[in-house]
C-alpha cells in the first residue's frame, strides 16, 4: 500500500473514531493486510490506537503486534491485561514470542510464561538461552520434520497435523531415529513423489544447515549463497532444533547493511530510530565527534609547530584544507570498496592481494591527475615552488591514504575485528594527521 493510501486511511480512522463509529472502523481494519494495518496503527493518536487495538481479534492483534516498532509494542504490552496478552502471544511463532518476552520486565515475563501453555513457554525459555544475534537467537521452533523411514503419505499427514502451528512451510526436514538431520524434501518434490515411497528414497541428502551458535551474518551469507528460502538449525550433535526462514534472513541483511552504513558515518549501534530519545541518539554519535575533536586539536598542535613557516608564507595555510580533505576522500573511497567487498563476499581472502594491488594502481592514476591539476593552479596563482610543494604533497598523501584505506580493513579482518570500522572517522582522522605532517615536512624541505 502506498504512503498516500496509508495517510488517507489514518485520516479516515481518526474521523470515524471522533464520530464514535467503532463498528465501521472494525470493517475497515479487518479488510487490511496486517502489515498495512500496523502502518496505519503507527500513525494514529494514542487514544485512537488504544481503542483500535481493543477491537482486534487475537489473531489479527498478534499479526499487527509483531509488525510494530518497539516503543509501540512496549505501549501495548504495558497497557494490556494479562489474559489477553497471553492469548495474543500464543498466536505468535516461537521466535517472535521470544523477541516480545525479552522486551518485558522480568516480572511481567515470568507471569506471562507461567500463564502460557507449557510447550510454548518451554520453547521460549530455550530460545532465550541463545545469543540474540546467533542462529539459535533468530530461529523458530516451528518446523515440520519426519523420520526417514516414513512414507510420503505419512509426511503429508505430519504436515497436515502441524499446519495450524507452522505458518510458512517450504521444506519438510528429514531426520533419523536419533533426530539427526539427514535430508530435506521440498513441498514440490513431496507433491510429485509416489505416496507410498519412503521419504529417504526421494529426499535430497545435500541439506545445508547451520549450528545454533553460528553468527546471524554468516547465516545470511549461507542462505544467499545457496539461494535457500529456509535453513534448518542443528545443535552440536547434528540434531534438528529449529529453522530460520528467509524473511528473518532479510531482516538480518538489512540490519547488517545499516550497521555498516552507520559505522561509516561514525554512528554507534542505534538499533531502531523510532525508539530512541534524542539523548540516547546523541550518546551513540558523540564518541566519534569527540574523537574528531581530539584529532582536530592534534592537527592544531601540529600546525602550531609550523607557526614560523605559516607566518612567513601565509599561502601555506590557504591550501591546508584541500590537502587534508583530498587524503580523506581517497582513503574513504578505497576503504569503502574493500569493506563492502568483504561484507558481500565479492572480495575473499584468497584474492585480497590482487585487490590491494589494483587499488594502488587506481590511486596512482587518480593521485597523479589531481596533483597535476593542483600543481597547475598553484603555479598560475602563486609560484612554481609552491606548485611543486602542493603537487608533490598531494600525490604522496593521496597514495598513502588510499593504501591505508585499503589495507586497514584487510588487516582488521585478519585479526577478527569488524573491518567496517575502517571506513569510519578513524581512517579520516589518521589521514588528516599524516597529510598535515607530510605537507609541512615537505614545505620545510622545498621552501626552506
179-238 residues in contact with a copy of itself (CB under 8 A) are 186-188, 190-192, 206, 208, 224-227, 229
59 makes contact with a copy of itself (CB under 8 A): no
Minimum CB separation from a copy of itself for residue 134, in Å? 18
Minimum CB separation from a copy of itself for residue 375, in Å? 11
Q: Which is nearer to a copy of itself, 111 or 309 (CB)?
A: 309
**CB contact set of 332 (below 8 Å; sequence gap of 6+):** 264, 405, 423, 427, 428
Q: Output the DSSP codes for 8-74.
A: HHHHHHHHHHHTT-HHHHHHHHHTS-HHHHHHHHHTS-HHHHHHHHHHS-HHHHHHHHHHS-HHHHH
- Grid cell 604522496 is found at 396
C-alpha dist (Å) from residue 202 to 145, 180, 195, 196, 226: 15, 18, 11, 11, 21
Angle between helices 94-103 and 70-79 (to 10 degrees): 80
Binding track, positions 8-47, relative to a copy of itself; x by CB under 8 A: --x----------------------x-x-------x----
Contacts 24+ apart (CB under 8 A), 250-257: 252/138, 252/216, 252/217, 252/219, 252/220, 253/220, 253/224, 256/216, 256/217, 256/220, 256/343, 257/343
388 makes contact with a copy of itself (CB under 8 A): no
Q: For a copy of itself, which stretch binds (CB under 8 A), given 1-9, 72-80, 127-135, 194-202?
A: 1-9
Q: Which residues 243-302 are close enough to bind a copy of itself by CB under 8 A? A: 246-247, 250, 253-254, 257-258, 260-262, 264-267, 270, 272-274, 278-279, 281-282, 285-286, 288-290, 292-293, 295-297, 299-301
353 makes contact with a copy of itself (CB under 8 A): no
129 makes contact with a copy of itself (CB under 8 A): no
Q: Which residues 302-341 are close enough to bind a copy of itself by CB under 8 A? A: 303-304, 307, 310-311, 314-315, 317-326, 329-330, 332-333, 335-337, 340-341
Minimum CB separation from a copy of itself for residue 176, in Å? 22
CA–CA distance, 28 with 12 (Å, rounded to integer): 9
**CB contact set of 209 (below 8 Å; sequence gap of 6+):** 181, 231, 232, 233, 234, 240
Q: Which is nearer to a copy of itself, 104 or 425 (CB)?
A: 425
350 makes contact with a copy of itself (CB under 8 A): yes
Strand 171-175 vs strand 145-147: parallel, antiparallel, or unpaired? parallel
CA–CA distance, 133 with 102 (Å, rounded to integer): 13
62 makes contact with a copy of itself (CB under 8 A): no
Return the residue of 62, 212, 366, 430 that touches a copy of itself, per CB under 8 A.
366
Return the residue of 129, 373, 411, 445 that touches a copy of itself, per CB under 8 A.
373
Which residue from 173, 213, 166 is spatially nearest to 189, judged by alpha carbons? Answer: 173
Torsion-angle region of 238 (φ positive above 0: left; ψ -120 to 50: alpha; else: beta): left
Q: For a copy of itself, which stretch binds (CB under 8 A), given 5-13, 49-57, 89-97, 100-108?
A: 5-13
Q: For a copy of itself, which stretch binds (CB under 8 A), given 79-87, 99-107, 164-172, 173-181?
A: 164-172
Please work out the total of residues on this chain that contact a copy of itself, with binding judged by CB under 8 A: 112
50 makes contact with a copy of itself (CB under 8 A): no
Cell output for 373: 591539476
Q: Which is nearer to a copy of itself, 115 or 310 (CB)?
A: 310
Q: Which residues 143-162 are close enough to bind a copy of itself by CB under 8 A? A: 156, 159-160
Minimum CB separation from a copy of itself for residue 448, in Å? 19
**CB contact set of 26 (below 8 Å; sequence gap of 6+):** 55
Q: Which is nearer to a copy of itself, 299 or 410 (CB)?
A: 299
- Grid cell 603537487 is found at 391
Minimum CB separation from a copy of itself for residue 128, in Å? 23
Which residue from 145, 247, 148 is spatially nearest to 199, judged by alpha carbons? Answer: 148
Alpha carbon 151 to chain centroid, angstroms: 41
358 makes contact with a copy of itself (CB under 8 A): yes
Minimum CB separation from a copy of itself for residue 306, in Å? 9
**186 three-class SS:** strand
CA angle 351, 352, 356 (to 5 degrees): 125
Minimum CB separation from a copy of itself for residue 219, in Å? 13
Q: Which is nearer to a copy of itself, 80 or 436 (CB)?
A: 436
Amino acid at each position: 500500500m502506498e504512503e498516500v493510501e496509508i495517510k488517507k486511511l489514518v485520516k479516515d480512522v481518526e474521523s470515524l473514531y471522533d464520530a464514535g463509529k467503532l463498528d465501521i472502523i472494525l470493517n475497515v481494519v479487518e479488510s487490511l493486510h496486517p502489515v498495512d494495518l500496523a502502518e496505519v496503527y503507527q500513525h494514529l493518536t494514542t487514544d485512537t490506537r488504544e481503542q483500535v487495538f481493543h477491537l482486534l481479534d487475537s489473531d489479527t492483534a498478534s499479526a499487527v503486534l509483531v509488525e510494530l516498532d518497539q516503543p509501540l509494542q512496549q505501549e501495548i504490552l504495558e497497557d494490556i491485561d494479562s489474559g489477553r496478552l497471553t492469548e495474543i502471544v500464543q498466536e505468535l511463532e516461537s521466535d517472535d514470542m521470544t523477541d516480545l518476552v525479552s522486551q518485558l520486565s522480568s516480572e511481567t515475563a515470568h507471569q506471562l510464561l507461567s500463564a502460557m501453555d507449557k510447550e510454548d513457554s518451554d520453547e521460549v525459555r530455550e530460545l532465550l538461552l541463545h545469543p540474540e544475534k546467533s542462529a539459535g537467537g533468530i530461529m523458530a521452533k516451528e518446523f515440520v520434520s519426519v523420520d526417514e523411514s516414513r512414507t510420503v503419505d505419512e509426511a503429508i499427514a505430519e504436515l497436515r497435523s502441524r499446519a495450524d502451528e507452522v505458518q510458512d512451510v517450504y521444506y519438510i526436514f528429514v531426520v533419523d531415529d536419533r533426530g539427526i538431520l539427514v535430508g530435506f524434501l521440498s513441498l514440490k518434490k513431496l507433491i510429485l513423489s509416489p505416496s507410498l515411497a519412503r521419504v529417504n528414497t526421494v529426499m535430497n541428502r545435500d541439506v545445508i544447515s547451520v549450528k545454533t551458535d553460528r553468527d546471524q551474518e554468516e547465516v545470511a551469507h549461507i542462505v544467499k549463497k545457496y539461494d535457500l528460502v529456509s535453513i534448518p538449525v542443528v545443535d552440536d550433535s547434528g540434531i534438528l532444533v529449529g529453522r530460520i526462514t528467509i524473511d528473518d534472513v532479510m531482516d538480518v541483511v538489512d540490519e547488517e547493511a545499516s550497521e555498516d552504513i552507520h559505522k561509516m558515518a561514525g554512528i554507534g549501534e542505534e538499533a531502531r530510530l523510532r525508539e530512541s530519545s534524542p539523548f540516547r541518539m546523541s550518546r551513540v554519535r558523540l564518541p566519534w565527534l569527540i574523537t574528531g575533536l581530539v584529532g582536530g586539536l592534534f592537527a592544531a598542535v601540529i600546525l602550531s609547530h609550523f607557526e614560523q613557516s605559516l607566518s612567513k608564507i601565509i599561502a601555506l595555510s590557504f591550501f591546508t584544507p584541500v590537502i587534508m580533505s583530498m587524503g580523506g576522500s581517497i582513503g574513504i573511497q578505497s576503504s569503502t570498496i574493500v569493506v563492502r567487498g568483504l561484507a558481500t563476499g565479492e572480495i575473499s581472502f584468497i584474492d585480497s592481494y590482487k585487490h590491494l594491488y589494483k587499488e594502488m594502481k587506481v590511486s596512482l592514476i587518480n593521485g597523479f591527475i589531481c596533483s597535476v591539476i593542483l600543481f597547475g593552479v598553484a603555479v598560475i596563482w602563486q609560484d612554481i615552488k609552491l606548485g611543486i610543494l602542493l603537487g608533490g604533497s598531494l600525490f604522496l598523501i593521496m597514495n598513502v591514504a588510499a593504501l591505508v584505506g585499503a589495507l586497514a580493513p584487510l588487516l582488521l579482518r585478519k585479526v577478527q575485528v569488524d573491518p567496517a570500522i575502517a571506513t569510519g572517522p578513524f581512517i579520516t582522522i589518521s589521514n588528516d594527521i599524516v597529510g598535515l605532517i607530510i605537507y609541512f615536512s615537505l614545505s620545510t624541505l622545498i621552501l626552506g
